[in-house]
């Protein structure tokens, strides 16, 4: 089998959230060039972290406005979380025939790169932005998004989008963002398109990644007509609401959209489940008794008399915030001002088992965005700046899921990754900065916990782990892949559609760890171990760790050809837990 290879260029890269998510989706995604530039500061914290984790090769720390398209290598997939700004355009075209936008408006840099790539522009695009993109600006609802869709249509892309709240799909943060995926009309993905309604609701890249149920009477269909300048000046003018639903697609300037209700019944992560042990928290993250009233004031409801610049008196009011933050729910949205010791309405505060109050550590903020632990740890980056970086970041788990779906549409097979999103990237020695050499703040801490309800009436498969795979299953990692023997050796008595849980059986040790079977499919051993060149079909279970028994338990295994197993109900194994 030829090696799959998707060349990726990452714009507005931050500390690499897109890269982590895509690498976690499939080894095929290869980031060959990336750009990160923070215009508001001389100290390029995100660029420092990015290079420390991924190396200097292909990294560009220059203002994208000043990077010629000729310096950006040809690629298959362009990704980026472009900043939300004013997308309006000037009334005239520039001499070059392109769009003359406001200086520094970064959407037009994406457009410029795609336009100037010509027939070498990427087959696929994948962007992230704030959820309000579909409703902005307030004076002309939906205009900004209409400009983006029209621009991409004129470049030959079919585009779909979803507003996704990560917490709705079991992730640890309530973070609503707009995700946009596009593909050239001659691409293999576009050839699978049948109808807009079916693609958006059932068959498309987004629908396969994040299942949803359409809200009744929210379907909207319309065309985006006119030049980009005409769209900018007149789209939806005078209307109260945006015509865009939170799920939809556009093809040839025709839009189909609907409002989506998420569908998800798997394990869920919470703020409390991602906190580190209290004894490891540095003292300066705790709130003193003296400062606690200041925090309570900031979090409380207020009505304050103020005077405007023009001398008018008015009452400023705001509602109360949760204090402390709920530990049994996903966190609130992390913002860039999360760091620092000053009392704030928007910073998270948790109460520890001892009763003390404290702020969140950078490692916990990383976990809320599903980054590897200590990803932003760098001797030249302060804790406050690490918090800022996470306030600007995306949730890697969202990118991973969409990346998996996109891969399946491109290649028609399940993706495999040797770098799941929780894998830590070590400091790269090529920087020659002695990074992390004397660093003593790297925590070795508890792993995140999840909320779920065990259903003891569900089927559990216990399968023996072969000797060469035992070390892999003894590692404490949240996801695993289990390969059975070749398909002819798997017991025909096991009903695959009934399997729900899995426990690996380690010889001479028994069973301990319980996993949820996320995906059951057919694959080959060479997916993960290409050196074997073993292309014989096998059953593959993609697993998510749930918990472990307090003590290892012996189980009698049945034997079917070359496969030792037990097909039972979860209640039998957990009855004495």
**Residue keyed to tokens 């508890």:** 446
Tell me which of 7, 32, 55, 84 is the catalytic residue. Answer: 84
Q: Is 185 in contact with 156 (CB distance < 8 Å)?
A: yes
Q: Give kind and range of the element (H or E) at residue 364.
A: helix 362-368
Q: Is 576 in contact with 547 (CB distance < 8 Å)?
A: no
| Cα distance between residue 172 and residue 365, in whole Å | 10
173 — phi, psi (to 5°)? -140, 140
On the 0-12 / 13-18 / 19+ scale of CB atoms within 10 A, 358 is: buried
Q: Is 409 in contact with 181 (CB distance < 8 Å)?
A: no
Strand locations in 526-572 (E): 538-553, 558-560, 563-569
| Cα distance between residue 180 and residue 126, in whole Å | 6
Question: Which residues, listed in sequence order, are joined to residue 350 by a DSSP beta bridge?
Answer: 358
Q: Among candidates 481, 531, 470, which has minimal Cα distance to 26?
A: 481
H runs (alpha helix) in 381-457 = 383-391, 396-411
CB count in 10 Å sphere of residue 284: 10
60 is catalytic: no
- Length reported for the chain: 577
| Cα distance between residue 204 and residue 434, in whole Å | 46
- Taking the CA atoms of residue 211, residue 213, residue 218 and residue 223 in that order, the dihedral angle to the nearest 10 degrees is 30
**Could you list the active site residues?**
84
């Amino acid at each position: 089998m030829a090696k799959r290879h998707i060349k990726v260029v990452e714009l507005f890269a931050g500390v690499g959230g897109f890269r982590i998510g895509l690498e976690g989706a499939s080894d095929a995604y290869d980031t060959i060039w990336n750009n990160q530039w923070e215009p508001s500061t001389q100290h390029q914290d995100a660029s420092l972290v990015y290079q420390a984790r991924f190396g200097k090769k292909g990294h560009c720390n220059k203002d994208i406005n000043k990077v010629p398209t000729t310096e950006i290598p040809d690629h298959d997939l362009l990704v980026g979380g472009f900043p939300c700004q004013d997308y309006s355009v000037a009334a005239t075209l520039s001499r070059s025939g392109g769009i003359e936008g406001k200086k520094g408006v970064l959407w037009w840099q994406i457009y410029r790169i795609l336009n100037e790539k010509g027939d070498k522009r990427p087959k696929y695009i994948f962007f992230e932005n704030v959820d309000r993109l579909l409703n902005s600006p307030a004076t002309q609802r939906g205009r900004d998004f209409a400009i983006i869709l029209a621009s991409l249509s004129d470049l030959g892309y079919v585009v779909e989008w979803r507003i996704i709240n990560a917490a709705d799909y079991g992730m640890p943060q309530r973070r609503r963002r707009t995700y946009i995926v596009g593909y050239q009309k001659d691409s293999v993905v576009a050839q699978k398109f049948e109808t807009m309604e079916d693609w958006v609701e059932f068959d498309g890249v987004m629908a396969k990644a994040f299942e949803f149920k359409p809200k009744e009477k929210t379907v909207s269909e319309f065309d985006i007509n006119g030049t980009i300048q005409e769209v900018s000046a007149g789209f939806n003018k005078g209307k109260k609401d945006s015509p865009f639903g939170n799920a939809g697609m556009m093809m040839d300037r025709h839009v189909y959209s609907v409002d989506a209700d998420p569908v998800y019944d798997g394990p869920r992560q919470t703020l409390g489940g991602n906190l580190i042990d209290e004894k490891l928290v540095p003292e300066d993250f705790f709130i003193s008794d003296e400062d606690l009233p200041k925090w309570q004031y900031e979090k409380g409801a207020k009505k304050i008399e103020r005077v405007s610049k023009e001398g008018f008196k008015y009452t400023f009011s705001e509602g109360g915030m949760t204090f402390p933050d709920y530990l049994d729910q996903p966190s609130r949205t992390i913002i860039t001002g999360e760091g620092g010791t000053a009392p704030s309405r928007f910073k998270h505060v948790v109460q520890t088992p001892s009763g003390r109050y404290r702020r969140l550590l950078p490692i916990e903020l990383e976990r809320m965005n599903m980054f590897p632990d200590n990803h932003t740890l760098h001797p030249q980056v302060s804790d406050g700046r690490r918090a800022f970086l996470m306030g600007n970041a995306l949730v890697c788990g969202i990118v991973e899921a969409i990346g998996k779906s996109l891969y399946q549409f491109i290649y028609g097979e399940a993706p495999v990754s040797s770098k799941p999103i929780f894998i830590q990237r070590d400091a790269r020695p090529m920087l020659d900065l002695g990074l992390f050499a004397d660093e003593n703040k790297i925590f070795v801490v508890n792993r995140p916990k999840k909320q779920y309800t065990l259903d003891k009436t569900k089927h559990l498969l216990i399968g023996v782990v072969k000797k060469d795979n035992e070390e892999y299953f003894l590692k404490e990692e949240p996801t695993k892949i289990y390969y059975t023997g070749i398909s002819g050796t798997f017991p025909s008595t096991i009903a695959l559609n009934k399997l729900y849980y899995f426990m690996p059986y380690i010889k001479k040790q028994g069973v301990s760890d319980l996993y949820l079977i996320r995906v059951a499919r057919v694959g080959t051993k060479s997916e993960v171990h290409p050196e074997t060149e073993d292309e014989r079909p096998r059953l593959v279970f993609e697993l998510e760790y749930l918990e472990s028994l307090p003590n290892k338990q012996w189980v009698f295994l049945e034997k079917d050809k070359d496969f030792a197993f037990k097909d039972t109900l979860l209640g039998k194994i957990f009855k004495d837990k």
